[in-house]
Structure formats: structure tokens, C-alpha cells
């Protein structure tokens, strides 16, 4: 096990310790204890920058199951290093911010920080895993932990709904992704991503290659909120603001982008990959920015702006994948710059969007509302927050002197290149890309201005606010100040980031271009008067006019009513599935035990009997059977008489005694067949159960008169005859088909193998130890569940929704 393995496990293990720390130090705000973890990891990952920048990735693997090709394999290269620094760096700032945002007295901090650290460890596992199955495990762990974080304020109905919605969509996409991984394993025979990358074009002709591509992209699109799976992200804004700043700006929503980048060396150059990634990314960018303008809640606005920015980055990754069409060449180097721009904007987005979420959280925390219609005139009361909002919003709008301007110019460059491409039929559809890119950027400028001007400028409406506005405490301002400082710094000195982080990441995504000249562009703020600069100027002019005249054109949104939205379609599907499943359930859940037994035994008869009949397994051979002794026949007749007698008895007591006769007769058979240990066990069990039956039945009334109607008795007779016949045929077929040697000879050596003289005990305690242990674990989990339900107390002030 390497240090990288420990880096993944430290947050998860710390999450387990957080509740105990809260009990040991009740006066301590748990945020301070949790802060140590991401800060330590950030420093550790920073020490790996020189080695990775020099082209030395870090590998490590711990075998799990060689037969299934499962291993906890980690791979720290340029791409994963960027993500680990974002996960731990932004994570450190978010934890610091949360210390001042969340009250120690009112919030369950042990749960919050346990969930947050669990999510951090899961994200590190996603970006560092080289084994596809391990990547999937951590992938779904991010969905589980994000569900817990979004539903942190679980007494709010909207929080529960948002958590459920994000969980269903992202986990559903993850299942599609898992099937894609399995297909890749079928194609390549390995679960190692790096090994698959080295196989190159040899796997592209396989029939499962394109289906695997599509399924993996579905997983990426659901996680990164790409159209039409973007609908979960706005509802996830019900989470506490620190959660939104972490999950929905720098980490969880970036997992899909990471997946696309990691698998670009495998699928890049394929037309299906190019069109799905770039096309859906571009449309998501436009739709997200267009939808953000109409939002009245600041966090909802940021949610749609995040969707838009993620689409922008996704488009750039799609454009860059064209560099692999036909193999690496000097003519295709131009497309690699889109990959570079995607990585640069990914970093920039994490800085300005993280800062914006924190700014909105400050406004909500200090003013009591996020409704833009109630805000305005806050500049005199919150000058520092206003400054932070200007820096982060203008960076998102792509204005100088902020880092967003640099990557937005690269985005325009990539969109213009798309318009002149002559591959993948782009000569027909390519010209639409710069138009859509520019239009989406105009709307981005509009909503960025709304954040600043509608919140901090304009008339002050004290009567609409829940609190008297005032500046946030210094502790809450530190994190957004650090992010805004990075925003400004990266504008003036971006090439340090380019050399040490972006360039190694590009080499990880495009290994075939390693060492090729012109792969890594030099970042500068001024390129002269070019089409990109003209596009930016047009964005500012048209965007300013649209923002100023919003009331004159806002009716255009009535063309897209909520009743016809994708969100309403999701709600209809969810409600319809619940109603449909309830109707189907009511058809067979009749409340009669006999009906449930019909289903179980009927299914068993048709499935097992059909298999036995049509597979040729039915074979009755009596030539080698030992003749039955008279006393054995007598014992069989006694058992048959007892079994038939149970059917006609009218007393529970008599039925229990007859049932005991059956059990004791089986014990006698064990004695006759020379199995005294089984006979003793059967005698003990039968005695205890018979006594318990008698004790319980003594206090119960007589059996009610049985329904002997024709429609009740006939199914019972058919099921009974069918099960009896099936059991006899199975037993005789097994006796007549000896395909393999008996394994009993192996267990006869139980003393030497397991140190046990009793073969049955050795089988249960040693040979089947894991099976027995898991059975005990199941009983333990059931006991914990029962105990939790018994101890669960609902607060007296809980409303009906809370009780549900």
C-alpha cells in the first residue's frame, strides 16, 4: 500500500472518528477538527507537483480479487493531480467557511462533517482509481454521501426532494456507466484504465466499443448535469451553502468532466464521442445560461450558471478529442488547445464559482433571503462582500483583469475552430458552434451583472428583508477572499499554473502527443485585435443592453412554460411510476397468506419444473437403489399418516403434536442412515419447537373454520400436488445423476484441514466461516434496525411532513 492509498482512506477514516471527537470535546466546533484533514492532504499533494510535472506519474496497487481482476489501483498523473488539488484545496476553504456559517448549537455538526469527509474521500477515490470497478464503487459513494449532504436539513421537504432527485439521476447514470465498464472489460480483458489506453486502436472495431462509449457518457452526463440530466442540480441547492460551494462548483459536478477526460485517450477520435461530448456540451452551455437569467433565487441562478459552465468545459473536451482522429499529427495539434482550454477553465470555474456560492451564502446568512426581488442597495452595508461579488461575477462573465477572461477567450478560439473543421461532417454543422457559443456567453454576461447590480446596487428595501444587513464576520470572508485573490493572480501570472499543472494534465489526456512541439500554448491577456476580442466586445455591448432592457424581453420565457419542462416530465414519470407500482402491488398484495404462497410455490414449480423437464435433467434410475426394509416402509407410512392427519385436524394442539411426529420420524431416519449427530440435532430442535408450539397454542383460540369453497380448495390442491411431485422428481433425479465425485471425502479430513473432529462443526465454523459470519452480520444489522426503530423518537413539534 502506497501513500496515495492512504490519502484516499484518510478522509473516510476521519469521517468515522468525527462523531467520537464531538463527544470527547463537546465545546469544540468540529469544523476545526475536520479542517486538519483537507489541509494536510492539500500539502501532501502539493509536494507531488514537481515529480508529476517532470513526467513521473505515481502508481500503486493492492490486489483484491485476481480472479475478478479487482484491485485497489491508484494512478496519480497530471490530470488526477489537478482534481486532487481542487478537492482538497477548495475543501479546506469550504470547511473553514462552514465553521462560521454553521452554528454549533443549532446544527448536527458531527453528521455534517462526517458526510463531508466521506464525500471528500470518495471523490479522491474517483480521480485516483485506475481500476474501473473501484472507480465505480467510489463514484456511487459520492452519490450516497452527496445525498446525505443535500438532505442535511432533512426536516425541509424541498431538501428531501432535492436529495432524492439527485440520487436517482446520478445513481441511475452510474449503473449505465458500470455496464459500459463491463463491456470494456469484455473487449480488453482488463479493468485497468492505463492498460486499456495502451491498446490504442486495436479495440475500436469491436461490436461493443460504441455501446460502451455511449453508456459511459451517460454516467458522465448525469454526474456533470448535462442536458437533459441537468434537472437535478437546481433542486440540490437546498443543501447548506458550504455543501453547494463544494459539491456543485469544484467537486461532484466535475466528476463527469474527469471521466470524459480520463477516457478521451480510449474513445477520442471516434465520431460518436466527438458529437455527443461537444454537441451536448455546447447545447447545455447555451440552455444553462439562458435559463439562469430568469431565476429569482440567487442559488438557483448559480445552479443554472454552473450547468452552463460545465457544458462549456464539456464542449472543449469534445473539441479536443478531434486531435486523436486518425492518430497524432502536426495538423491536429490545433485541436489539442481545446483540451488545454478545458482544463484551464475547469480550474478557473472552481475559483470564481466557489467564491460566488460563498458570497451568496453570506448574503443569505446576514440578510435572511436570496430572493433577488427583495434585495438591492446592500453596498453600503456589505462593501467587502460587494467587492468579492464583483471579482467573481466579472470573472464568470469573462471580463479582464480576471482569470475567466483568459479561458473564455480560449473557448471562443475553440468554437471558431469548430466552424472551420472538415472532419465529422463539421463543414455542415460547424458554423453553428461559434454562434451558439457567443449567444450563450451573452446570457452569461447578463446573469453575472444581475448578481452584482440587483443585489448590491439599486434601491434598498429594508421592509422586505428578514434581518438588518451588515458585513459578514472576518472568518466567513477569508475563504472567498483567498479565492478572489487567486482569480486576480491567475490573470497576471497564468503560465506557472500552465507549466506545473495544465501541461502534465494535457499529456495525460493526449499521451500520443507527448513531446510534440506547440502542444502547450503560452497564455497571455493580449493577442491583438482578433475575432475572439471582437466576440468579447459584442458580448459586453449586447449583454449590457439585454440586462438593461430585461423587462422588455422577459416575456420570451413564457414560450417555455414550467408545465412543459423536463423537470415536470421527471415529476410526472416519478409520480406515474409510484401510482403504477401501487396499482400493480395492490393486484397481488391481497392480504391473504395463501395467495403469497401461491406466488412463491407456483413460480418455483414452473421455473424449476420447466428447467428439469426441458433441460433433460429428469432421469429416474432405480437399478442401483437399495431395497427398502419393512421398518423403513412402516416409518414412511407413519409420517404420511401424520402429514395427512394435519390437514383434517381441528385443533392447534393436535396439529402441533402431529407435526412433532414428522420431526421425530426424520430423526429416526437419521439414526438408521448412521448420522447420529444430525439425529441428535433434529431431536433437540424438534423438542424445543414442539414445546414452544404447545405453549403458544394453549393461549390461542381454536382454529377458525376453514374456507372450503371450490375456488379456494382447488388452487391449494394443485399447489400441494405440484410441490410434492416436484420435490420427489428432484430427489430421484439427483439420485440418478451422479455427475461429479462426492466432496464428502474432502471434509472427512477436517481435523488436519481445520483442527476439528466434528465434521459438521468444522464445516460451519471453518470451511463456511465467511458464510456463517455474514449470516451473523445480517442478524446483527436486523437487530440494530429494530433497536433504532424502538428508540426513534419524533420531536413533539414535528409537522405532518416531518412525520412522514
pLDDT in tens, 571-628: 999 999 999 999 999 888 888 888 888 899 999 999 988 888 887 777 777 666 777 7
Q: How confident is the model at residue 681 (pLDDT cuts 50, 70, 90)?
A: confident
Residues 662, 636 contacting (CB under 8 angstroms): no
Rounded CA separation 94/98 (Å): 6
Hey, which residues does 192 pair with through a beta bridge?
131
Return the pLDDT at 707.
64
Residue 332 has a CB neighbour count (10 Å cut-off) of 21
Q: Quote the CA–CA distance of 292 and 356 in Å, as a whole number.
A: 14
Residue 58: in which H helix or E strand, if any?
A: strand 58-65
Please give the Cα distance from 106 to 104 (Å, whole number): 6
Secondary structure (H, E, C), 446-502: HHHHHHHHHHHCCCCCHHHCCCCCCCCCHHHHHHHHHHHHHHHHHHHCCHHHHHHHH
Q: 669 pLDDT band (50/70/90 cuts)?
A: confident
Q: Which pLDDT does position 453 carry in this prediction? A: 93
Q: Helix axis angle, 157-188 relative to 132-150, nearest 10°?
A: 180
pLDDT in tens, 644-662: 888 888 777 788 888 889 8
Beta carbons of 465 and 374 less than 8 angstroms apart = yes
Residue 452, CB-side half-sphere exposure with 13 Å CA sphere = 20
CA–CA dist 164, 187 (Å, integer): 35
Give the residue-averaged pLDDT of 16-20. 92
pLDDT band at 801; cut points 50, 70, 90? very low
Closest by Cα among 204, 491, 194, 135 to 348? 491
Q: Taking a C-beta distance cutoff of 8 angstroms, is the pair 304, 295 a contact? A: yes
- 798: pLDDT strictly greater than 60: no
Please check whether residue 747 is in contact with residue 767, taking contact to mean a CB–CB distance below 8 angstroms. yes
How far apart are the C-alpha atoms of 648 and 638, rounded to whole Å? Answer: 16
Mean pLDDT of 709-713: 78
**Cell numbers describing residue 270:** 471516434
- 3-class SS of residue 56: coil
Domain definitions of the chain by residue range: 1-267, 269-352+362-564, 582-620+703-739
Amino acid at each position: 500500500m502506497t501513500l496515495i492509498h492512504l490519502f484516499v482512506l484518510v478522509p473516510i477514516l476521519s469521517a468515522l472518528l468525527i462523531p467520537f471527537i464531538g463527544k470527547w470535546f463537546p465545546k469544540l466546533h468540529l469544523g476545526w477538527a475536520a479542517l486538519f484533514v483537507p489541509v494536510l492532504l492539500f500539502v501532501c499533494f502539493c509536494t507531488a507537483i514537481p515529480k508529476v510535472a517532470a513526467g513521473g506519474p505515481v502508481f500503486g496497487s493492492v490486489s483484491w480479487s485476481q480472479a475478478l481482476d479487482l484491485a485497489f489501483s491508484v494512478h496519480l498523473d497530471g490530470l488526477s493531480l489537478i482534481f486532487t488539488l481542487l478537492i482538497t484545496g477548495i475543501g479546506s476553504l469550504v470547511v473553514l467557511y462552514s465553521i462560521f456559517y454553521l452554528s454549533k448549537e443549532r446544527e448536527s455538526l458531527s453528521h455534517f462533517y462526517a458526510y463531508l469527509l466521506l464525500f471528500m474521500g470518495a471523490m479522491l477515490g474517483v480521480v485516483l482509481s485506475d481500476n474501473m470497478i473501484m472507480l465505480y464503487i467510489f463514484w456511487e459513494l459520492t452519490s450516497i454521501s452527496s445525498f446525505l449532504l443535500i438532505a442535511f436539513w432533512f426536516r425541509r421537504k424541498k431538501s428531501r426532494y432535492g436529495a432524492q432527485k439527485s440520487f436517482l439521476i446520478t445513481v441511475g447514470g452510474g449503473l449505465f456507466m458500470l455496464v459500459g465498464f463491463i463491456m470494456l472489460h469484455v473487449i480488453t480483458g482488463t479493468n485497468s484504465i492505463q492498460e486499456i489506453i495502451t491498446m490504442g486502436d486495436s479495440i475500436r472495431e469491436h461490436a461493443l466499443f460504441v455501446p460502451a462509449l455511449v453508456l459511459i457518457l451517460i454516467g458522465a452526463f448525469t454526474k456533470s448535469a448535462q442536458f437533459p440530466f441537468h434537472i437535478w442540480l437546481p433542486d440540490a441547492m437546498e443543501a447548506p451553502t458550504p455543501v453547494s460551494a463544494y459539491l456543485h462548483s469544484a467537486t461532484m459536478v466535475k466528476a463527469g468532466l474527469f471521466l470524459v477526460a480520463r477516457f478521451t485517450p480510449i474513445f477520442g477520435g471516434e465520431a460518436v464521442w466527438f458529437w455527443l461530448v461537444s454537441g451536448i456540451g455546447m447545447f447545455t452551455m447555451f440552455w444553462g445560461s439562458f435559463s439562469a437569467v430568469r431565476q429569482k433565487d440567487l442559488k438557483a441562478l448559480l445552479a443554472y450558471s454552473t450547468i452552463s459552465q460545465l457544458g462549456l468545459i464539456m464542449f472543449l473536451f469534445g473539441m479536443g478529442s478531434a486531435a486523436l482522429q486518425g492518430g497524432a499529427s502536426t495538423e491536429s495539434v490545433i485541436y489539442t488547445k481545446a483540451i488545454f482550454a478545458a482544463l484551464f477553465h475547469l480550474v478557473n470555474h472552481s475559483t470564481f464559482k466557489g467564491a460566488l456560492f460563498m458570497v451568496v451564502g453570506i448574503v443569505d446568512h446576514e440578510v435572511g433571503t436570496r430572493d433577488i426581488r427583495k434585495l438591492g442597495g446592500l453596498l453600503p452595508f456589505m462593501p467587502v462582500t460587494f467587492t468579492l461579488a464583483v471579482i467573481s461575477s466579472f470573472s464568470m462573465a469573462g471580463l479582464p483583469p480576471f482569470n475567466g477572461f483568459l479561458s473564455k477567450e480560449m473557448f471562443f478560439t475553440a468554437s471558431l475552430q469548430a466552424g472551420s473543421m472538415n472532419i465529422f461532417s463539421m463543414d455542415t454543422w460547424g458554423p453553428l458552434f461559434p454562434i451558439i457559443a457567443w449567444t450563450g456567453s451573452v446570457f452569461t454576461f447578463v446573469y453575472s451583472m444581475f448578481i452584482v447590480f440587483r443585489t448590491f446596487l439599486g434601491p434598498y428595501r429594508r421592509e422586505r428583508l428578514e434581518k438588518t444587513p451588515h458585513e459578514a464576520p472576518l472568518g466567513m470572508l477569508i475563504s472567498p477572499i483567498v479565492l478572489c485573490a487567486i482569480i486576480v493572480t491567475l490573470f497576471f501570472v497564468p503560465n506557472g499554473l500552465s507549466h506545473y499543472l495544465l501541461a502534465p494534465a494535457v499529456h495525460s489526456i493526449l499521451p500520443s502527443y507527448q513531446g510534440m512541439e506547440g502542444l502547450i500554448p503560452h497564455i497571455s491577456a493580449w493577442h491583438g485585435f482578433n475575432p475572439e476580442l471582437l466576440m468579447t466586445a459584442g458580448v459586453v455591448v449586447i449583454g449590457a443592453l439585454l440586462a438593461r432592457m430585461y423587462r422588455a424581453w422577459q416575456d420570451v420565457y413564457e414560450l417555455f412554460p414550467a408545465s412543459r419542462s423536463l423537470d415536470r416530465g421527471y415529476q410526472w414519470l416519478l409520480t406515474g411510476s409510484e401510482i403504477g407500482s401501487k396499482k400493480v402491488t395492490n393486484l397481488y398484495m391481497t392480504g391473504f397468506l395463501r395467495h403469497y404462497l401461491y406466488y412463491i410455490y407456483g413460480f418455483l414449480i414452473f421455473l424449476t419444473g420447466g428447467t428439469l423437464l426441458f433441460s433433460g435433467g429428469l432421469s429416474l434410475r432405480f437399478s442401483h437403489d437399495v431395497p427398502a426394509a419393512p421398518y423403513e416402509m412402516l416409518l414412511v407410512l407413519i409420517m404420511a399418516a401424520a402429514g395427512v392427519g394435519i390437514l383434517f385436524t381441528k385443533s392447534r394442539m393436535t396439529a402441533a403434536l402431529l407435526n412433532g411426529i414428522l420431526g421425530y420420524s426424520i430423526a429416526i431416519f437419521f439414526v438408521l442412515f448412521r448420522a447420529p449427530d444430525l439425529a441428535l440435532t433434529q431431536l433437540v430442535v424438534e423438542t424445543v419447537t414442539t414445546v414452544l408450539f404447545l405453549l403458544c397454542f394453549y393461549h390461542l383460540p381454536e382454529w377458525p373454520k376453514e374456507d372450503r369453497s371450490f375456488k379456494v380448495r382447488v388452487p391449494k390442491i394443485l399447489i400441494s400436488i405440484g410441490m410434492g411431485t416436484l420435490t420427489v422428481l428432484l430427489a430421484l433425479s439427483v439420485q440418478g445423476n451422479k455427475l461429479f465425485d462426492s466432496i464428502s471425502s474432502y471434509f472427512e479430513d477436517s481435523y488436519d484441514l481445520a483442527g476439528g473432529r466434528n465434521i459438521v462443526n468444522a464445516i460451519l465454523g471453518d470451511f463456511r466461516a465467511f458464510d456463517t459470519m455474514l449470516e451473523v452480520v445480517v442478524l446483527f444489522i436486523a437487530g440494530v434496525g429494530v433497536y433504532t426503530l424502538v428508540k426513534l423518537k419524533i420531536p413533539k413539534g414535528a409537522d405532518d411532513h416531518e412525520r412522514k
